[in-house]
């Protein structure tokens, strides 16, 4: 299985987060999405791929076929939301790829090579562990609410708005605060705030795959710049 350096994952996520909004071409946008899908597939994140892939196709078909048949005002509103959500999809997929395929110890080892500030490094490391823990807590709360006959969905919010607020969102806020404290305490116990040079057993290095992925993204950046300068090169 292809293994990328955490620094490469951060780099391509940063590139995608910036240039996907500068891009005006559907072809390049699809290229961003296809690369993200391929990375998730090789990481065996099939559920994530199916969820975001189907959503992207639906939004793309909406722009190409449905919006043209709607009144101008309604079509413009739907078009705005359609474009914005679709541009976020590759960012979400690469974020999921980073979180699900990177151990915190490997992430710390990679960031230490960049000589970043300790505060920034600690914040990123805690964030990397925070979201999976919150997802587990969210699933537990949803299961508990189902046993009480409350469905955490759009229809459930319409039927029981007060109960959803009391039994779902309040526990989530309490859990968020508790989890952040627990993760911080665990990190301090492991010596994350040590001022000296840290040793690490994790081997972190760039590979041929890293060079290939970075080259592909540099090529995409060149395509976006050319499209912006000369306009209409890529549809």
Please tell me the distance from the alpha carbon of residue 215 to that of residue 51, in angstroms, as a whole number: 28
Query: Which of these, 216, 175, 204, 184, lies nearest to 39 by C-alpha position?
Result: 216
Q: What is the pLDDT of residues 179-217, one digit of tens each?
A: 777 777 776 676 666 666 666 666 777 889 999 999 999
Stretch 161-174: mean pLDDT: 76
pLDDT digits (tens, 9 = 90+) for 7-30: 899 899 999 999 998 888 899 999
Between these two residues, 142 and 214, which has the higher pLDDT value? 214
**Distance between the two ends of the chain, CA-based, in angstroms?**
34
Residue 124 has pLDDT above 80, yes or no: no
Query: What pTM did the predictor assign?
Result: 0.78
> Is the model's pLDDT at 105 over the cut of 80?
no
* Section 103-125 average pLDDT: 74
What confidence score (pLDDT) does residue 146 get? Answer: 77
Pick 214 or 134 by higher pLDDT: 214
What local confidence, expressed as pLDDT, does residue 218 receive?
A: 94
Between 108 and 196, the more confident residue is 108
pLDDT of residue 193: 62
Phi-psi region of 234 (alpha: psi -120 to 50; beta: other; left: phi over 0): beta
- CA–CA gap between residue 54 and residue 126 (Å, rounded): 31
pLDDT score, position 67: 85
- Average pLDDT over every residue of 100-113: 78
* C-alpha span between 94 and 17 (Å, rounded): 10
């Amino acid at each position: 299985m292809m293994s990328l350096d955490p620094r490469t994952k951060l780099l391509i996520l940063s590139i995608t987060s910036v240039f996907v909004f500068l891009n005006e071409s559907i072809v390049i946008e699809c290229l961003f999405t296809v690369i993200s899908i391929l990375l998730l597939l090789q990481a065996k994140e099939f559920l994530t791929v199916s969820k975001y892939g189907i959503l992207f196709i639906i939004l793309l078909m909406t722009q190409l076929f449905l919006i043209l048949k709607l009144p101008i005002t309604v079509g413009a509103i739907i078009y705005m939301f359609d474009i914005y959500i679709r541009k976020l999809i590759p960012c979400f997929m690469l974020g999921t790829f980073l979180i699900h395929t990177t151990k915190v110890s490997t992430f710390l080892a990679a960031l230490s090579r960049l000589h970043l500030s300790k505060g920034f490094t600690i914040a990123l490391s805690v964030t990397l562990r925070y979201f999976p823990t919150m997802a587990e807590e969210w699933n537990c709360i949803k299961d508990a609410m189902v046993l009480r006959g409350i469905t955490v969905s759009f229809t459930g919010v319409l039927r029981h708005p007060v109960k959803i607020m009391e039994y779902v969102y309040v526990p989530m806020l309490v859990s968020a605060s508790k989890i952040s404290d627990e993760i911080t305490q665990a990190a301090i116990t492991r010596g994350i705030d040590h001022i000296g040079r840290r040793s690490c057993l994790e081997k972190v290095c760039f590979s041929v795959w890293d060079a290939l992925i970075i080259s592909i993204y540099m090529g995409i950046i060149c395509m976006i710049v050319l499209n912006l300068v000369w306009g209409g090169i890529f549809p």
